[in-house]
Amino acid sequence: MAAEIPFRIFDKPQDYGRILEFQESLRNDVVAKKSAGSVLFLEHGPVYTSGIRGKDEDFLKPAGDIPVFSIRRGGELTFHGPGQLVIYPVIDFRAYGFASIKEFVLFFADSIKSVLTGFCGVEDLEWHDEKAGLWVEDKKIAFTGMHFKKFVPIHGFSVNISNDLSYFSRIVPCGIPNCKITSVKAETGKIFQVREVAEAIIAEMNGRNR
Q: Give the CA distances from residue 19 to residues 35, 86, 182, in Å, rounded to whole numbers and listed in that order.
A: 17, 11, 25
Query: Which is the catalytic residue, given 125, 141, 171, 174?
Result: 174
| Sequence-ordered list of residues with C-beta below 8 angstroms from that of 80, at least 6 positions apart, any chain | 16, 43, 44, 46, 47, 48, 49, 86, 158
Bridge partner residues of 44 (DSSP): 14
What class does CATH assign to 7-206? alpha beta
Amino acid at 127: W
| Sequence-ordered list of residues with C-beta below 8 angstroms from that of 204, at least 6 positions apart, any chain | 111, 114, 115
The percent of residues in the chain predicted with pLDDT above 90, rounded, is 70
pLDDT above 80 for 123: yes
> Model's pTM, two decimal places?
0.92
Tell me, what's the pLDDT at 53?
61
Can 174 be counted among the known catalytic residues? yes
Give 69-107 pLDDT, tens digit per residue.
Answer: 877 776 678 899 999 999 999 999 999 999 999 999 999
Q: How many CB atoms lie within 10 A of CB 97?
A: 15
Q: Give the CA distances from residue 193 to residues 7, 46, 70, 83, 110, in Å, rounded to whole numbers and listed in that order.
A: 18, 17, 29, 8, 20
Q: How far apart are CA 198 and CA 195, in angstroms?
A: 5
Q: How far apart are CA 86 and CA 41, in angstroms?
A: 6
Tell me, what's the pLDDT at 136?
95
Give 152-181 pLDDT, tens digit per residue.
Answer: 999 999 999 999 999 988 887 766 677 899
Cβ contact 19:40 at 8 Å: yes
| Sequence-ordered list of residues with C-beta below 8 angstroms from that of 21, at least 6 positions apart, any chain | none
